[in-house]
């Protein structure tokens, strides 16, 4: 069951805390607008941000009869409660929006046969299809914290598990 907030909104799900710096004039204007709507400043900022996310285009329309892809619609495509799954959805849908560390993380995962279901032995070495349908998500999830530490430079990639030789099939071709 989802965590509940205590207080006046008792049945609301817990939200994330975000620290934001605002120009004093902008903060004062937001406070005035929040009072007009009988909202807290926090509620007003969340409402305003949501409106802006529906209007901010991640992908512009290809033609005049198409709608673009808003940040909120993009979120719906890529969101998952599991961080590792969310990463792969994001990488699959929006590779051009990945930052350097996310690209490194993907490269580490793609370069390790441990994270793939079907792996073959060939005369040239180990081969596997680097496709999301071949990913072994349970293994990625179990190593997620370590993978992020490797990207952050806190751990060595040598600490990643290695695929056992009995899990490698001979090449079918």
pLDDT tens digits, residue range 76-95?
999 999 999 999 999 999 99
Supply 121's token pair.
Answer: 């032995």
Would you state the pLDDT for residue 15?
A: 82
Would you state the pLDDT for residue 130?
A: 85
Where residue 124 falls among pLDDT bands split at 50, 70, 90?
A: confident
Would you state the pLDDT for residue 43?
A: 94
C-alpha closest to that of 74 among 50, 95, 93: 93
53 belongs to a structural domain? no
Where residue 2 falls among pLDDT bands split at 50, 70, 90?
A: low
Q: Mean pLDDT in the chain?
A: 87
Would you state the pLDDT for residue 62?
A: 75
For residue 90, what are the contacts with CB-CB under 8 A and spacing of at least 6? 78, 97, 98, 102
Residues 114-134 have a mean pLDDT of 83
Report whether 155 contacts 111 (CB < 8 A): no
DSSP conformation letters of 14-69: P---------HHHHHHHHHHHHHTT--HHHHHHHHHHHHHHHSEEE--SSTTS--E
Report whether 146 contacts 155 (CB < 8 A): yes
Task: Tell whether the model's pLDDT for residue 108 goes beyond 60.
Answer: yes
CA 9 to chain centre: 29
Task: Tell whether the model's pLDDT for residue 10 goes beyond 60.
Answer: no
The count of structural domains within the chain is 1
- pTM for the complete prediction? 0.75
171 belongs to a structural domain? yes
d(CA 144, CA 84): 7
Residues 142-165 have a mean pLDDT of 94
127 belongs to a structural domain? yes
3 belongs to a structural domain? no
d(CA 41, CA 44): 5
128 belongs to a structural domain? yes
16 belongs to a structural domain? no
Residues spanned by the domain of 116: 99-173
17 belongs to a structural domain? no
Cβ–Cβ contacts within 10 Å for residue 107, how many? Answer: 11
139 belongs to a structural domain? yes
Q: At what angle do helices 100-110 and 144-151 cross, to 10 degrees?
A: 130
């Amino acid at each position: 069951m989802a965590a509940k907030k205590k207080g006046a909104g008792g049945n609301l799900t817990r939200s994330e805390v975000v620290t934001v710096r605002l120009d004093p004039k902008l903060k004062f204007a937001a406070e005035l607008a929040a009072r007009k709507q009988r909202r807290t400043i926090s509620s007003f900022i969340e409402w305003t941000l949501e409106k802006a996310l529906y209007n901010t285009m991640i992908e512009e329309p290809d033609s005049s009869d198409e709608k673009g892809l808003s940040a909120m619609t993009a979120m719906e495509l890529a969101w998952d409660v599991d961080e590792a799954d969310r990463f792969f959805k994001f990488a699959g849908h929006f590779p051009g929006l990945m930052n350097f560390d996310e690209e490194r993380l993907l490269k580490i995962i793609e370069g390790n046969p441990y994270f793939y279901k079907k792996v073959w032995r060939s005369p040239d070495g180990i081969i596997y299809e680097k496709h999301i349908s071949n990913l072994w998500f349970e293994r990625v999830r179990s190593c997620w914290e370590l993978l992020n530490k490797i990207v952050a430079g806190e751990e060595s990639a040598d600490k990643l598990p290695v695929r056992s030789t009995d899990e490698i099939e001979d090449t079918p071709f």
